[in-house]
Amino acid sequence: MSNDNSELNLNEYVTAMVGGQLFGLPIRRVQDVFIPDRLTRVPLAPPEIAGVLNLRGRIVTLIDLSLRLGLERLGNGGPTMAVGVEFRGESYGLLIDSVGEVMKLDAGALERNPINLDPRLASVSAGIFRLEGQLLMVVDVDRILDIPTRAAA
Amino acid sequence: MDDLLREFVTETNESLDVVDVELVRFEQDPNNAKILDNIFRLVHTIKGTCGFLGLPRLEILAHAAENVMGKFRDGMPATNEAVTVILATIDRIKAILESLERDQREPDGSDNDLIADLERIAEHTKAAAEREKAAPPPEPERATRPGEVSLEELERVFRETPVDPPPVVKAAPVKAAPVKAVAAEETVKDDDNAKGGNQSIRVTVDTLEHLMTMVSELVLTRNQLLEIVRRHDDSEFKTPLQRLSNVTAELQEGVMKTRMQPIGNAWQKFPRIVRDLSNELGKKIELELQGAETELDRQVLDLIKDPLTHMLRNSADHGLETPVERRAAGKSEHGHIRLSAYHEGGHIIIQIADDGRGLDTDRIKAKALAQGLVNEAEVEKLSETQIHKFIFAPGFSTATTVTNVSGRGVGMDVVRNNIDQIGGAIDVKSVAGVGLSFTIKIPLTLAIVAALIVESGGERFAIPQLSVVELVRARKGGDHRIERIKDTTVLRLRDKLLPLARLSRLLGVETDAGRDVESGFIVVTQVGSQTFGIVVDSVFHTEEIVVKPMSSKLRHISMFSGNTILGDGAVIMIIDPNGVAQAIGSTVTSQMIVETIEDGRVDDASEQSTSLLVFRAGSTQPKAVPLSLITRLEEIDARKIELSNGRHMVQYRGQLMPLIVMNAHVAVKGEGAQPLLVFSDGARSMALVVDEIIDIVEDRLAIQVQSGVAGVLGSAVIKGQATEIIDIGYFLPMAFEDWFRRKDQAVSERQRSILLVDDSPFFRNMLTPVLQAAGYTVTAVGSARDALAMLEDGRSFDVVVTDIEMPDMDGYQFAEALRAVPRTAELPVIALSSQISADSVERGRQAGFHDYVAKFDRQGLIAALMEQTDVGRAA
């Protein structure tokens, strides 16, 4: 079954909702999806950093994606989720509102960012897929984690 | 076969490392049969295994080396040549092993050269042995002093003491891991470790890391179970759970220990390196290793190995002189390199020091200029120490000739980078002709530390126990009170004032601004020479924590040094006492100043801070005096104050000391303790009555508002608060009317005159009375130009006292200007400076200063004046 896909050059994305927008993260970058528990906030940290937590013995830094992307958090009551990614040997969790299905999308259908896209979103977007009824923005994980740290506090 | 081969390669490499070290030791101590036995056995094992595995090339080489060593055992002297050839053989064996590991087979090639050498030595010395036997051994051991036990004997005692075998066999499989570390330790400590070769097993680091994680999980689960049992009072689980708890704790400790390795592992190759270097360079070098047992995380160990090796080579190559040069410099022929390691305040300090020629300041200066790291004007202001720090700049190397030994294009900047990477710091101290020492400070990141778990602003934090001095509970009206000085809080602890900082405020997590500031727990913390209190809401317990490096996104927060996972599974941040100390505002002595050099900036003279004593007297507004003027701070029993002749007096050190009240608002206390500031000059003392001594602060002293009130120089902002700066010179004559005059009698003829040049009105005002007191007439001017104008007008003075750091024309230029005019060319000039370095003294001498005195050194200044004006003789 999976052999049929090879000709189409399909990429797989883990989809996630943040602030009412659908995002896709390349599946090979996603390590796991978890429900953050016992989050420790870090004083003096950049606002995008929600805190640190212990995930099976590893310390994971949680990034609040909605703050990072300049989107509004939708406090829809459900448990907040996090997507675990690795960046330069360190573990990060991207805080999202909810996680969706894994989608296989044709790389050829990836469109460039509209030029009027919010600069904050544009800076982390790797392109847009037009899905039925909504748009999916592919995020560049490396660029999301390139958080400007202010001068030493 | 593959596995067998791999194991052989690793094991042989390890044995060869030991042989390396032992051979060097043996060469120095040729009579030590035990060392030789050990070497012999190791080489023999290698030979045997090679034969078994069918590695002819290695076998022949090892055999030839063994032969020579056999001759050593038979009494052949261990000549330098013989040892060199054996060492070369070992290197060859290592090279073969390397390709064996790569290609799974012995490389082609011939070792006939070495074998011939080895055989020649074995043959040649057979005959020589007889002759040598009669002669004294080439390098005799130092004679044992009476009551002293020789090293050899000591070692024998250790060896012969029965030791319980490590509990490896009995332990659970997981327990086997710690043995590796133990075995590694032995490698360094003793030569007889190899007999226990089978008691250690090799474990990959991943396995250890995994174990560590699993143990953490186990601890969490155990804690959950304990929590459940606690809720059910009479549980039958209690006893087995207690047992489980203990076992878990031990297991955790054991696994943690496997990560630690003695630093000596990184030093193992150093004796050999130094031996080779001394041969190659024709220098005599002694290497001293101290604190090899200091443990640190193996990851950190790996990272510092290369920097240390590089620095050792540097010391041997550039630092130490040749025997001829050393003799000419009056030093012993043997150069000395000392490497030491020890724990200090949550850090590991590694020092590498040599007694060589030190850094060449001029060459570094020239190179720094050439590379554009600093410009001509700036470089002159830099102290020698600051110039030395340029060696850490990228691409900086002062060696004029690139030698085989250390000129390999890697400089100290690489060393510094490596050390930076692990969050360490490096500093250099050099004294020309005396030696050079590097101090590396590495934090115990990744290591295990005991930490105090505290709560502040609703969050828990860990404070490394090593920097915690004590814990104080502060209560309103209690023995230990938190007192406020406007916005800052201090703790009066055993009559000392301790600056306090509320952790929640430092971290910006204050939950309730109106919180009762007068109570709380105070963690008294020491960083370097600085002591301060961190106020927290509550203190829980002490826990051994595994310091985990912070995410790179958080590393810029200087308040934290890392984070950790607590026993209950929560992640908490570890407070960095250094960061807190900085936030509190005072300079931390242990902090490296490399950063300021990078900027190429030097603190402006006016930015220099002065130690000030802040106190209160008569009003709520704080007052301050430069600390250096005060002889002592005293607190006397108010009942001891006597009223004599309408003046307050106190018996102090066998003399009556007058007490001076600054103004009518200050009341001398009738009971309790009366704080005093004691000023002394020679045998006389007087004391200023104050209401309260507040603090000692380091701050820039800039008088912003001049005062019309007698006894007050003006107001300055000190630590954010308007503070009156007191003119002590005004009060001194109030105690003894002749305070300033009594010395005049000694000067028979005319008074000597001083021209005082200083841009700071404060210093002019402060020094004028002091100089007058010493019997001089003083004319004070605010700039060098004014002074020159005055001299041109025909005014004459006996001596000039000038500040160095002045705007427009500095002290050096001023002195040079004076020298240029014949009339003033002979005028003695005394320079005052807040920083005195060998460099600036030399510069001053060239400019024409007759003497050089530290700014606050009144005694020194007066002595210098006496010398320059011959008052001493006249008196």
pLDDT in tens, B151-195: 555 555 555 554 444 443 333 333 333 434 444 444 444 444 444
**Position B388 pLDDT exceeds 60:** yes
Q: Which of A52, A61, A92, A143 to mutate to test the interface with B (most CBs of B within 10 A)?
A: A52
Residue type, B193: N
Q: Classify residue A150: in a domain, yes or no.
A: no
Which strands form A30-34's sheet, in the order they lie side by side? A30-34, A81-87, A90-96, A58-64, A49-55
Percent of chain A with pLDDT over 90: 27
pLDDT of residue B199: 66
Residue whose pair of structure tokens reads 């489980």 in the numeric block: B244
What pLDDT, in 10s, does the model give residues A17-61?
Answer: 888 889 999 998 999 999 998 889 899 988 889 999 988 778 899
Highest mean pLDDT among A136-145, B239-248, B525-534: A136-145
pLDDT of residue B180: 41
Q: Which of B217, B547, B571, B595 to mutate to test the interface with A (most CBs of A within 10 A)?
A: B571
pLDDT of residue B246: 86
Percent of chain B with pLDDT over 70: 76
Average pLDDT over residues B505-517: 69
Tell me which chain A residues have a C-beta less than 8 angstroms from the C-beta of B548.
59
Average pLDDT over residues B442-456: 74
ipTM score of complex: 0.86
How close is the nearest chain A Cα to the Cα of B508, in Å? 7
Q: Classify residue A152: in a domain, yes or no.
A: no
Find, among B729, B783, B736, the residue nearest to B756 by Cα: B783
Tell me which chain B residues have a C-beta less than 8 angstroms from the C-beta of A49.
553-554
**Position B276 pLDDT exceeds 50:** yes
The count of structural domains within chain A is 1
How many CA atoms lie within 13 Å of A145's alpha carbon, on the beta-carbon side? 23
Q: Provide the 10 A C-beta neighbour count for residue B606.
A: 13
Q: Classify residue A122: in a domain, yes or no.
A: yes
Instruction: List, as one string, the DSSP characters of B173-207.
Output: GGGGTHHHHHHHHHHHH-GGGGGGGGG-----HHH
Q: Which of B214, B507, B558 sits opposite A152 (nearest CB)?
A: B558
- Mean pLDDT is lowest, of B74-88, B140-154, B645-659, B784-798, for B140-154
- What pLDDT band is residue B679 in, cutting at 50, 70 and 90? confident
pLDDT of residue B77: 75
- What pLDDT band is residue A63 in, cutting at 50, 70 and 90? very high
CA atoms of B69 and A22, how far apart (whole Å):
76
What pLDDT, in 10s, does the model give residues B823-842?
Answer: 888 888 888 876 667 777 77
Which residues touch B818 (CB under 8 Å, ≥6 apart)? B788, B791, B800, B824, B825, B827, B829, B848
Q: Which of A46, A57, A151 sits opposite B553 (nearest CB)?
A: A46
Q: Using the beta-carbon criterion (under 8 Å), do B551 and A58 form an inter-chain contact?
A: no
**Position B447 pLDDT exceeds 80:** no
Q: Enter the tokens of residue B13.
A: 């490499």
Which residues touch B581 (CB under 8 Å, ≥6 apart)? B525, B527, B528, B530, B532, B588
CA atoms of B572 and A39, how far apart (whole Å):
10
Instruction: List, as one string, the DSSP characters of B244-289.
Output: HHHHHHHHHHHHHHHTEEETHHHHTTHHHHHHHHHHHHT-EEEEEE
CA atoms of B273 and B313, how far apart (whole Å):
8
CATH code (residue A76) = 2.40.50.180
How close is the nearest chain A Cα to the Cα of B688, in Å? 41
Locate the chain B residue with the closest alpha carbon to A43.
B507
CA atoms of B871 and B875, how far apart (whole Å):
6
Which residues touch B833 (CB under 8 Å, ≥6 apart)? B803, B804, B805, B811, B840, B852, B853, B854, B855
pLDDT of residue B529: 62
Q: Using the beta-carbon criterion (under 8 Å), do A61 and B554 form an inter-chain contact?
A: yes
Which residues touch B413 (CB under 8 Å, ≥6 apart)? B392, B393, B394, B395, B396
Tell me which chain A residues have a C-beta less than 8 angstroms from the C-beta of B560.
42
CA atoms of B553 and B555, how far apart (whole Å):
6
pLDDT of residue A82: 92
Q: Using the beta-carbon criterion (under 8 Å), do A42 and B509 form an inter-chain contact?
A: no
Q: Classify residue A111: in a domain, yes or no.
A: yes
Tell whether A93 is within 8 A of chain B (Cβ).
Answer: no
* Of A67 and A94, more confident: A94
Q: Classify residue A128: in a domain, yes or no.
A: yes
Q: Are B579 and B558 in contact (CB under 8 A)?
A: yes
B482: phi then psi, degrees, rounded to nearest 5: -90, 125
Q: Provide the 10 A C-beta neighbour count for residue A112.
A: 10
pLDDT of residue A85: 93
Q: Classify residue A153: in a domain, yes or no.
A: no
Tell me which chain A residues have a C-beta less than 8 angstroms from the C-beta of B507.
43-44
Q: Are B427 and B331 in contact (CB under 8 A)?
A: no
CA atoms of B443 and B300, how far apart (whole Å):
9
Q: How far is CA B719 from CA B133, B506, B580, B703, in A?
A: 78, 17, 17, 13
Q: Please count the residues of chain B.
A: 875
Locate the chain B residue with the closest alpha carbon to A91.
B551
What pLDDT, in 10s, does the model give residues B616-666?
Answer: 888 878 888 877 677 777 778 888 888 777 778 888 777 778 888 877 777
Q: Are B650 and B660 in contact (CB under 8 A)?
A: no
pLDDT of residue B634: 77
Highest mean pLDDT among A97-106, B159-168, B736-745: A97-106
Tell me which chain B residues have a C-beta less than 8 angstroms from the C-beta of A54.
565, 569-571
Q: Are B816 and B848 in contact (CB under 8 A)?
A: yes
Q: Using the beta-carbon criterion (under 8 Å), do A41 and B553 form an inter-chain contact?
A: no
Q: What is the mean pLDDT of chain A?
A: 83
Tell me which chain A residues have a C-beta less than 8 angstroms from the C-beta of B559.
43-44, 153
- What pLDDT band is residue B399 in, cutting at 50, 70 and 90? low
Average pLDDT over residues A64-85: 78
What pLDDT, in 10s, does the model give residues B81-96?
Answer: 878 888 888 888 888 8
CA atoms of B444 and B576, how far apart (whole Å):
12
Q: Using the beta-carbon criterion (under 8 Å), do B553 and A49 form an inter-chain contact?
A: yes
What percentage of chain B's residues is helix, strand, coil (to nearest 5)? Answer: 45, 25, 30
**Position B71 pLDDT exceeds 70:** yes
pLDDT of residue B2: 65
Q: Which of B214, B552, B563 sits opposite A52 (nearest CB)?
A: B563
Tell me which chain B residues have a C-beta less than 8 angstroms from the C-beta of A53.
571
pLDDT of residue A14: 93
What percentage of chain A's residues is helix, strand, coil (to nearest 5)? Answer: 15, 45, 35
In the three-class reduction of DSSP (H, G, I as helix; E, B as strand; rest coil), residue B323 is classed as: helix
Locate the chain B residue with the closest alpha carbon to A88.
B552
Q: Classify residue A149: in a domain, yes or no.
A: no
Q: Using the beta-carbon criterion (under 8 Å), do B559 and A44 form an inter-chain contact?
A: yes
Q: What is the mean pLDDT of chain B?
A: 74
Q: Which of A44, A46, A88 sits opposite B507 (nearest CB)?
A: A44
Tell me which chain A residues have a C-beta less than 8 angstroms from the C-beta of B563.
52, 59
DSSP E strands: which ranges in chain A?
10-18, 21-26, 30-34, 49-55, 58-64, 81-87, 90-96, 98-106, 125-130, 135-139
Q: Using the beta-carbon criterion (under 8 Å), do B570 and A54 form an inter-chain contact?
A: yes
* Of B393 and A94, more confident: A94
Within its chain, how far is the Cα of B470 from the centroid? Answer: 23
Interfacial A residues in 28-57 facing B (CB < 8 Å): 38, 40-46, 49, 52-54, 56-57
How many CA atoms lie within 13 Å of A86's alpha carbon, on the beta-carbon side? 8
Q: Provide the 10 A C-beta neighbour count for residue B722.
A: 12
What pLDDT, in 10s, does the model give residues B554-567?
Answer: 888 888 988 888 87
CA atoms of B714 and B723, how far apart (whole Å):
8
Tell me which chain B residues have a C-beta less than 8 angstroms from the C-beta of A58.
213
Q: What is the dihedral of CA B115, B116, B119, B121, to 10 degrees?
A: -110
Q: Using the beta-carbon criterion (under 8 Å), do A44 and B557 form an inter-chain contact?
A: yes
In the three-class reduction of DSSP (H, G, I as helix; E, B as strand; rest coil), residue A103 is classed as: strand
Locate the chain B residue with the closest alpha carbon to A38.
B570
pLDDT of residue A51: 92
Tell whether A89 is within 8 A of chain B (Cβ).
Answer: no
Q: Using the beta-carbon criterion (under 8 Å), do A147 and B553 form an inter-chain contact?
A: yes
A9: phi then psi, degrees, rounded to nearest 5: 55, 60
Residue whose pair of structure tokens reads 């043995």 in the numeric block: B179
pLDDT of residue A26: 92
- What pLDDT band is residue A3 in, cutting at 50, 70 and 90? very low
How close is the nearest chain B Cα to the Cα of A135, in Å? 30
Domain that holds residue A85: 2-144
DSSP single-letter state for residue B466: G
Q: Are B58 and B74 in contact (CB under 8 A)?
A: no
CA atoms of A44 and A47, how far apart (whole Å):
8
Tell me which chain A residues have a C-beta less than 8 angstroms from the C-beta of B565.
54, 57, 59
Tell whether A94 is within 8 A of chain B (Cβ).
Answer: no
Find, among B601, B581, B600, the residue nearest to B501 by Cα: B581
- What pLDDT band is residue B346 in, cutting at 50, 70 and 90? low
How close is the nearest chain A Cα to the Cα of B517, in Å? 21
B771: phi then psi, degrees, rounded to nearest 5: -70, -35
pLDDT of residue B595: 30
pLDDT of residue B574: 92
- What pLDDT band is residue B743 in, cutting at 50, 70 and 90? very low
pLDDT of residue B749: 47
Residue whose pair of structure tokens reads 């805080």 in the numeric block: A95
Tell whether A152 is within 8 A of chain B (Cβ).
Answer: yes
DSSP single-letter state for residue B484: E
CA atoms of B830 and B754, how far apart (whole Å):
10
CB pairs under 8 A between A and B: 77
Q: Classify residue A109: in a domain, yes or no.
A: yes
What pLDDT, in 10s, does the model give residues B90-137?
Answer: 888 888 888 887 777 777 777 788 888 888 877 765 555 444 444 444
pLDDT of residue B167: 40
Q: Using the beta-carbon criterion (under 8 Å), do B559 and A54 form an inter-chain contact?
A: no
Q: Are B334 and B322 in contact (CB under 8 A)?
A: no
Tell me which chain A residues have a C-beta less than 8 angstroms from the C-beta of B223.
none
**Position B142 pLDDT exceeds 80:** no
Highest mean pLDDT among B321-325, B700-704, B757-761: B321-325
Q: Using the beta-carbon criterion (under 8 Å), do B572 and A54 form an inter-chain contact?
A: no
Q: Using the beta-carbon criterion (under 8 Å), do A59 and B548 form an inter-chain contact?
A: yes
- What pLDDT band is residue B245 in, cutting at 50, 70 and 90? confident
Q: Which of B551, B558, B568 to mutate to test the interface with A (most CBs of A within 10 A)?
A: B551
Average pLDDT over residues B415-436: 77
CA atoms of B151 and B67, how far apart (whole Å):
27
Q: Are B811 and B784 in contact (CB under 8 A)?
A: yes
pLDDT of residue B310: 83
Which residues of chain B have a Cβ shorter than 8 Å from any chain A Cβ?
212-214, 216-217, 457, 459, 507-509, 548, 551-560, 563, 565, 569-573
Tell me which chain B residues have a C-beta less than 8 angstroms from the C-beta of A94.
none
CA atoms of B480 and B462, how far apart (whole Å):
24
